[in-house]
Amino acid sequence: MLRLIFSASLALGALAPVAVEAKSSCGLASWYGPGFEGRRTASGQRFDSQALTTAHRTLPLGSRILVTNPANGKSVKVVVNDRGPWHGDRRLDLSHGAFSRVAEASQGVARLCFS
Does the pLDDT of residue 29 top 90, yes or no? yes
By mean pLDDT, which of 15-19, 59-63, 82-86 is the weakest? 15-19
- Average pLDDT for 35-54: 96
Does the pLDDT of residue 20 top 60, yes or no? no
How many residues are present in the chain? 115
- Distance between CA 98 and CA 25 in Å, rounded? 17
Q: What angle do CA 41, 61, 110 make, to 5 degrees?
A: 75
Q: pLDDT at position 33, please?
A: 81
